[in-house]
Amino acid sequence: MDMEETKELVSLDPDMLQLQEVSPFALKSSPYVAEDLFSQWLSLPDTCLLVKSLLADVKEGAPLGAHENSTITNALASNSVPSLFPAGSTPPLSPRSSSGSPRTMKHRSSPSSLSSPLKLTRDPVREIIPQFYFKNGRPPPSEIKEHFLFQIDSRFYGHLDGLQLNDFKSVTKEVCKLPSFFSTALFRKIDVNFTGTITREQFINYWIRGNMLAMDLATQIYTILKQPHQTYLAQDDFKPVLRELLSTHPGLEFLQSTPEFQERYAETVVHRIFYYMNRAGNGRLTLRELKRGNLIDAMLHVDEEEDINKVLRYFSYEHFYVIYCKFWELDTDHDFFIDKENLIKYGNHSLTYRIVDRIFSQVPRKFISKVEGKMSYEDFVHFILAEEDKSSEPSLEYWFKCIDLDGNGLLTPNEMQFFYEEQLHRMECMAQEPVLFEDILCQMVDMIGPENEGYITLRDVKGSKLSGNVFNILFNLNKFISFETRDPFLIRQEREGPNLTEWDRFAHREYIRLSMEEDGEDMSNASGDVWEESLEAPF
């Protein structure tokens, strides 16, 4: 058989094979087509030569593929299966030529059919993506860093052994831009070995290499106050800065002779901070809560203001005085705990028994007190802030939980009627004109404007400016009557101080009343002393 006949036989024309053209998917679903193709391939003369050659190589122990350049291999290349399919039956690998399949052309042009076409592709150029996330904040620009180093050098100049605490206070306020009463806390964070001095290298290592320079003020304060390996601030973490505030602020100098009241003042400030800012109520103030609140602004304000009573947020001594005196008035046995009978006297018996029962059932807030049936000072701070300022979100959440008897997050008419029944009875006992619940319910719905008139949600309560009055209607008779009569004194107060909260106005009124009572007692005691002296004087 000559070469021309061989070429004609190996062309594998589908018409000569008497097989219909099929796609590769059809071959998988119809195995008999592949068997017919394989039978046709075995009937070719070159296939017989190839099989005989491979068997001979196996018998002689020669490696397979030794006849790479033989005509048999060329015949295999020309008889490859892809040539049986039309050009459009498989996805394109590269631009096709009109002479045939690119796979067949590849085999014909290359001496080896084992070379991979992937080697012809160049390796992609590696693109370097700049760092975009920094755990402790983006490093400051070099200009800011150099300016900060210049300030440090000027502060530590002439202090080769380092700075002591008194000299370090100016660094805290003027270089680090922190409140001055943070100097002791910052000093102890850097002076871990308690040497009493901080060197320039120690300060640079903590503030610059520790990336404190790149943090915002809230994160810096959070990092300085919190304990190592903690992810929150506890109440005790604020005690060092409050202790320094008490010893350095001119508006608190008069307390230095009464350390017990210094301690009570610091406790009250911390309780107020956690009441407003620790919305989770778990005693763990997170960085996110610290940033969302107004504590940082209050700290900066108290550091600049000599009259501490002008700092209404958290630090006012007058506010502490009112809270402490209110608690002391109710704590008749002075064991620093109050029970139900004590609390029912609050505000001239303004609260109902039912709401007091709900408070002592610890539904709105778990008591810190470990004594059964007793409320501690911290529990009372949360209560009085909620009672006297029902415009704040913590207060609305506090009283919503009290009224929500089944705890399903909905205030139904039945639940509200349960608390209003006692109010109605008290109005009848006081010869007040009673208002039926059906009428008062319509008024409360109009005041809140809930999405569904059948119940009131916490979202509805927070969305209305009159929600505090609704709670007063349900369990505080004195405030309910004041609201109904539209006390002109309260209306004038609101107009004179639109930026003041309900708590600010209440604390101001009570402080004036308490101070007048104390002045009256002092005058009475003084007149008594004078009278006794006149009796004892010789004639």
φ, ψ dihedrals at 401, nearest 5°: -65, -35
Q: What is the domain range of residue 361?
A: 317-514
Name residue 302's amino acid.
V
402 within domain boundaries: yes
Quick one: 325 and 195 in the same domain?
A: no
CATH number for the domain harbouring residue 237: 1.10.238.220
In sign, the C-alpha dihedral spanning 198, 204, 209, 213 is: positive
The end-to-end CA distance of the chain, in Å, is 164
Quick one: 371 and 423 in the same domain?
A: yes
Q: Return all residues near 10 (Cβ < 8 A) that are at least 6 apart.
A: 44, 46, 75, 78, 79
Q: Of 314, 340, 357, which residue constitutes the final position of a domain?
A: 314
How does DSSP classify residue 457?
Answer: E
In terms of Cα–Cα distance, which of 371, 453, 374, 356 is closest to 410?
453
Cα–Cα distance between 208 and 455 in angstroms, integer? 56
Quick one: 261 and 336 in the same domain?
A: no
E strands, 171-289, are none
Quick one: 382 and 490 in the same domain?
A: yes
pTM metric for this prediction? 0.71
Q: Are 475 and 352 in contact (CB under 8 A)?
A: yes
pLDDT for res 428: 87
Quick one: 241 and 298 in the same domain?
A: yes
pLDDT for res 103: 47
Domain count for the chain: 3
CATH number for the domain harbouring residue 141: 1.10.238
Rounded mean pLDDT for each run of 10 residues along the chain, 539 residues in total: 43 46 57 70 79 79 54 46 44 46 46 50 74 71 85 89 92 94 95 93 91 91 94 96 96 92 96 95 95 96 96 96 96 94 95 97 93 95 96 96 96 96 90 87 94 94 94 93 76 73 94 86 53 35
Cα–Cα distance between 237 and 175 in angstroms, integer? 23
242 within domain boundaries: yes
Quick one: 359 and 504 in the same domain?
A: yes
Quick one: 336 and 198 in the same domain?
A: no
171 within domain boundaries: yes
53 within domain boundaries: no
Quick one: 202 and 337 in the same domain?
A: no
Quick one: 327 and 198 in the same domain?
A: no
Q: Of 314, 343, 370, which residue constitutes the final position of a domain?
A: 314
Q: Of 214, 249, 266, which residue constitutes the final position of a domain?
A: 214
460 within domain boundaries: yes
- Helix axis angle for 183-190 and 217-225, nearest 10°, is 70
And the tokens for 116? 């991979």
365 within domain boundaries: yes
Quick one: 289 and 340 in the same domain?
A: no
Instruction: Indicate the pairing of strand 410-411 with strand 456-457.
Output: antiparallel
308 within domain boundaries: yes
Quick one: 448 and 412 in the same domain?
A: yes
pLDDT for res 525: 58
340 within domain boundaries: yes
Quick one: 389 and 507 in the same domain?
A: yes
